[in-house]
Amino acid sequence: MSLEIQPQASPAVEPVADSIAVEVVSPPFRPGLAGWVARGVVMAAVAAVVFLVPTVRGNVEVHIYTQAVIYAIIGLSLNVLLGYTGQISLGHQAFVGIGAFTSAYMVTVQGQPFLAAIGMAMVVGGIQALVLGAVSLRITGLYFALVTLAYGTMAEESLFNIQKLTGGSAGQPAPKPMWFTTDLRYYYLCLAFLTAVVWVDWRLMKTKGGRALAAVRENPRVAATFGTDVKVYTLMAFVVAGVFAGLGGALLAHNDTFVVRDLFNFQLALVFVIMTVVGGLRNRTGVVIGSAFFSLVGYFFDKLFSGGLHVPGIKVLPKEYAPIVIGPMLLLFTLTRHPGGMGQRIRPIQRWLRGGRFSSRDTHDDPTSSGGERVSDVRA
Amino acid sequence: MPTVLSRSALTSTAIAVGLAAALVATGSSQALVIGIITGAGYGLVALGLVLVYKSSGVFNFAQGEFGTVAIYALYRVHDKIGVPLIPAIVIALAVSVAMALVTERVVIRPLFDAPRVALLVATAGVALLAISLELWLGEARPRFIQPALGRLNRLSLFDVAVSDQRMLVLAALVILAVVLALFFSRTNLGLAILGVSQEPVATELMGISVRRLSSFIWALTGLLAGIAGILTAPVAGSFAPGFLTSTALIPGFTAAVLGGMKSLPGAFVGGIVVGVAQSLAVSSPAFHSIPGAGSVMIFVLLLIVLTVRPQGLLGRA
């Protein structure tokens, strides 16, 4: 009986299904010729700012731009921790500092070539993160934050004072590598490293491990039920973050050509965290922009308000405190009111540049919207 | 509650007495006395950390700055404007309580349903904001302060001369510990806080507003941090921006972890253990060749507790 009814019912259903399907699969938006030209112009303008502007600026300014590029590497390192694993390092100044001192020690004391020194800094960075992570992941919760905080202070007060390794308060020289002795050439070298870091980060997130991390972030229990080893993948992310931080530290050392221990204090660790969160977690472009912003804010603050910002009735705000006064305010604003950070603001622009419409609305088939964008998506 | 208190109190007293006996026997009584007094300050910070952690599940990295703000307020009001000491202390404590309440209202409450890591980042942000404001509006270099009682050494503990300031700190801490123990076991408010920290849902069902208590808990932690700041700054002799964050936050957290992040008496005892361990590391000749031995000791202690006994010294697995 039922066999006779089915052929009758199906023709009645199918046209309905078709009409729905037609509505959903609307032809994808493609810009016209003028649209592509406009996009090309914008991309060329961005590229020109990044590649050409430093060639016409003085060495002092190029040195600061290089620092912005290196901060972007450090920001991406923290993004791996905070964005992908939902854990946070409050001792990143130690990771970066140890990378810097390792590289300086290898070049100056051991007489090793630049690449070997940088490789060593990355290895040391990875090992540190692995050990600290292994200890703190024994308990559920955010103990990595505590352990790294204590580690950072310990490094500041003890490790960085070991005369033989760091040169004590005098510091350790870290000359720029051969072929890259000018500030401009070194800037391009750092840009190349940043590109490599962005590429590695992007590819890693496409691997099984990256998808596992996304699953763990979405729901740790469900991920564990499906056989995902949460701890192993989190540790893997810690190692990646440590390697990036070590690289950032080494590049920072050779940019300054001199490593001083006082640079790596607790305030710096918090600035690293702030630039990553304000930049926008899990949005590489956002993190790069946020990091560059916080690296440059002190310098441009000084240019805008030479001698510091005169707030009526209160003391002058000097430039060296500008990042740590502005930073936390932006951080708290980002967390409570605008969880996507700068990444959320630039998302429509990114979408437009890739040939989509200029809209802030997330659509499911949009590749740029994958991975979520809110800080509060991270689960502890 | 009374049974829990007596159980942990017994265990902790046993540990403390054993430790003290061992140290006096080995001739390190100097380190012991100094360590206990410093450690009691850490214990106060740890108490606040545990209270907040139990009620809202967040590591409060701004705890140290609540105390530093009190020191700055005391300095402003007492030394600059010339308000007498006792009203000045009240004002200073009010400032740190106000800062804690504002933090709760502006930062913690909007993030009530947010993941814990967002809260953690937010409290670290509050800490940096406070430090930067102290740097900007105060002065970057350390300020020296006169102890309230001068540096007389009239009394001694275990044959160790102890300055009057330290004795004052010790007396204040003992009184405070007794008051807190009474507060948590005898008053409705104290019992409600314990309830919230142990079973938030059940407490809510009993008609207690968890959100309203959250404000009160933050005010209390602000008060504890303020007292810790005011008591420890004169012993240290000087203070600079971020004073309590750099001196007491990590020891405080280590103390709280020693107590398993859950037990209030455990946190206080943990503070004393951390204080003694740190002062031993600083004074012992065996560690003289290591720069910053105190912070190395605390880091190692934290790692050991997390690897060997993550549920804390007094906790059950």
Interface test with A, best of B76, B243, B295, B300 (most A CBs within 10 A): B295
Instruction: Kindly give, in sequence order, each residue whose CB lies less than 8 Å from that of residue B130, ignoring residues fewer than 6 positions away.
Output: B62, B65, B68, B69, B99
Minimum-distance CB partner of B117 among A135, A325, A380:
A380
**Closest chain A residue to B303, measured at CA:** A135
SS (H, E, C) chain A: CHHHHHHHHHHHHHHHHHHHHHHHCCCCCCCCHHHHHHHHHHHHHHHHHHHCHHHHCCHHHHHHHHHHHHHHHHHHHHHHHHHHHCCCCCCHHHHHHHHHHHHHHHHHCCCCCHHHHHHHHHHHHHHHHHHHHHHHCCCCCCHHHHHHHHHHHHHHHCHHHCHHHHCHHHCEECCCCCCCCCHHHHHHHHHHHHHHHHHHHHHHHHCHHHHHHHHHHHCHHHHHHCCCCHHHHHHHHHHHHHHHHHHHHHHHHHHHCEECHHHCCHHHHHHHHHHHHHHCCCCHHHHHHHHHHHHHHHHHHHHHCCCCEECCCCCEECHHHHHHHHHHHHHHHHHHHCCCHHHHHHHHHHHHHCCCCCCCCCCCCCHHHCCCCCHHHCCC
Judged on CB neighbours under 10 Å (0-12, 13-18, 19+), A206 is exposed
Residue A179's CB is within 10 A of a number of other CB atoms, namely: 10
8 Å CB contact of B126 and A149: no
8 Å CB contact of A335 and B121: yes
| A34-77: pLDDT as tens digits | 888 888 888 888 888 888 788 777 778 888 899 999 999 999 99
Instruction: Kindly give, in sequence order, each residue whose CB lies less than 8 Å from that of residue B224, ignoring residues fewer than 6 positions away.
Output: B44, B45, B47, B48, B51
| A139-195: pLDDT as tens digits | 777 888 889 999 998 998 888 888 877 877 777 888 888 788 788 888 999 999 999
The pLDDT score that the predictor gives to residue A71 is: 94
**CA dist B246 → A228, A274, B12, B64, B175 (Å):** 39, 19, 27, 8, 26
Under a CB-based contact definition with an 8 Å cutoff, are residues A146 and B253 in contact? yes
Determine, yes or no, domain membership for A37.
no
DSSP 3-state assignment of B309?
coil
**How high is the mean pLDDT of chain B?**
81
**Type and span of the H or E element at B246:** none
In this prediction, residues A354-368 reach a mean pLDDT of 59
Kindly list the residues from chain A whose CB atom is less than 8 angstroms away from the CB atom of residue B110.
336-337
Minimum-distance CB partner of A161 among B110, B135, B291:
B291
**Closest chain A residue to B128, measured at CA:** A328
In this prediction, residues B243-251 reach a mean pLDDT of 88
Per-residue pLDDT band at A372 (split at 50, 70, 90): very low
| A69-118: pLDDT as tens digits | 999 999 999 999 888 888 888 989 999 999 999 999 999 888 888 899 99
Residue B216's CB is within 10 A of a number of other CB atoms, namely: 17
Pairing state between β A316-317 and B143-144: unpaired
A341: left (phi over 0), alpha (psi -120 to 50) or beta: left
8 Å CB contact of A331 and B131: no
DSSP 3-state assignment of B313?
coil
Q: What is the number of domains present in chain A?
A: 1
The pLDDT score that the predictor gives to residue A2 is: 44
**Closest chain A residue to B311, measured at CA:** A139
Question: What does the block give as tokens for B82?
Answer: 């010339």
| B3-54: pLDDT as tens digits | 445 565 666 677 767 766 776 666 667 778 888 888 888 988 998 998 888 7
Residue B229: closest CA among B241, B218, B217 = B241
pLDDT over 80 (residue A297): yes
In this prediction, residues A118-145 reach a mean pLDDT of 89
Determine, yes or no, domain membership for A120.
yes
8 Å CB contact of B124 and A90: yes
Kindly list the residues from chain A whose CB atom is less than 8 angstroms away from the CB atom of residue B116.
141-142, 380
Minimum-distance CB partner of B131 among A267, A339, A378:
A267
The pLDDT score that the predictor gives to residue A368 is: 41
pLDDT over 90 (residue B57): no
Determine, yes or no, domain membership for A70.
yes
Interface test with B, best of A334, A336, A379 (most B CBs within 10 A): A336
Kindly list the residues from chain A whose CB atom is less than 8 angstroms away from the CB atom of residue B298.
150, 154
DSSP 3-state assignment of B58?
coil
| A136-154: pLDDT as tens digits | 887 777 888 889 999 998 9
Q: How far apart are CA A228 and CA B195, in angstroms?
A: 36
Q: How many CA atoms lie within 13 A of B222 on its CB side?
A: 24
Q: What percent of chain A has pLDDT over 70?
A: 85
In this prediction, residues B159-187 reach a mean pLDDT of 79
The pLDDT score that the predictor gives to residue A16 is: 47
The pLDDT score that the predictor gives to residue A380 is: 35
Give A230 or B92, the one with higher predicted confidence: B92
Minimum-distance CB partner of A376 among B61, B107, B115:
B115
| A200-236: pLDDT as tens digits | 999 988 888 888 888 887 777 888 888 878 788 889 9
Minimum-distance CB partner of B291 among A90, A158, A375:
A158
**Closest chain A residue to B307, measured at CA:** A135
Which domains are delineated in chain B? 2-308 (1.10.3470)
pLDDT over 90 (residue A243): yes
Kindly list the residues from chain B whose CB atom is less than 8 angstroms away from the CB atom of residue A328.
125-126, 128-129, 132
The pLDDT score that the predictor gives to residue A351 is: 82
Give A338 or B299, the one with higher predicted confidence: B299
Determine, yes or no, domain membership for A42.
no
Classify the complex by whether its ipTM is higher than 0.90, answering yes or no.
no
Residue B225: closest CA among B241, B239, B209, B245 = B245
* Chain A CB within 8 Å of residue B22 CB: no
| B220-234: pLDDT as tens digits | 999 999 999 888 887
Per-residue pLDDT band at A374 (split at 50, 70, 90): very low
CA distance B46 to chain A (A): 13
φ and ψ at residue A28, rounded to 5 degrees: -60, 145
**Closest chain A residue to B124, measured at CA:** A270
8 Å CB contact of A146 and B59: yes
Kindly list the residues from chain A whose CB atom is less than 8 angstroms away from the CB atom of residue B297.
none
Torsion of the alpha carbons at B186, B191, B197 and B202, rounded to the nearest 10 = 150
Determine, yes or no, domain membership for A207.
yes
pLDDT over 90 (residue B252): yes
Question: What does the block give as tokens for A233?
Answer: 């993948």
- CATH code, domain with A147: 1.10.3470
Instruction: Kindly give, in sequence order, each residue whose CB lies less than 8 Å from that of residue A65, ignoring residues fewer than 6 positions away.
Output: A54, A57, A187, A296
8 Å CB contact of B128 and A146: no
pLDDT over 70 (residue A322): yes
Kindly list the residues from chain A whose CB atom is less than 8 angstroms away from the CB atom of residue B106.
332, 336
Judged on CB neighbours under 10 Å (0-12, 13-18, 19+), A244 is buried
The pLDDT score that the predictor gives to residue A8 is: 45
Q: Which amino acid is at A113?
A: P
Instruction: Kindly give, in sequence order, each residue whose CB lies less than 8 Å from that of residue A285, ignoring residues fewer than 6 positions away.
Output: A343, A346, A350
Q: How many CA atoms lie within 13 A of A256 on its CB side?
A: 21
Minimum-distance CB partner of B250 among A82, A153, A324:
A153
Give B142 or B114, the one with higher predicted confidence: B114
Instruction: Kindly give, in sequence order, each residue whose CB lies less than 8 Å from that of residue A85, ignoring residues fewer than 6 positions away.
Output: A213, A216, A217, A234, A237, A238
Residue A297: closest CA among A46, A64, A47 = A64
**CA dist B21 → B29, B155, B158, B259, B276 (Å):** 9, 20, 11, 21, 13
The pLDDT score that the predictor gives to residue A17 is: 47
Surface of B (214-273) touching A: CB under 8 A: 242, 245-246, 249-250, 253-254, 257
**Closest chain B residue to A86, measured at CA:** B117
* Chain A CB within 8 Å of residue B291 CB: yes
Please give the residue range of the domain that contains residue A66: 55-377
Q: Which amino acid is at A335?
A: L
The pLDDT score that the predictor gives to residue A308 is: 64
Min mean pLDDT across A235-239, A261-265, B296-300, B306-310 is at B306-310
Under a CB-based contact definition with an 8 Å cutoff, are residues A144 and A136 in contact? yes
Minimum-distance CB partner of B302 among A147, A270, A378:
A147
Residue A285: closest CA among A88, A41, A28, A50 = A50
8 Å CB contact of A150 and B125: no
pLDDT over 50 (residue A7): no
The pLDDT score that the predictor gives to residue A42 is: 86
pLDDT over 90 (residue B95): yes
DSSP 3-state assignment of B239?
strand
The pLDDT score that the predictor gives to residue A190 is: 93
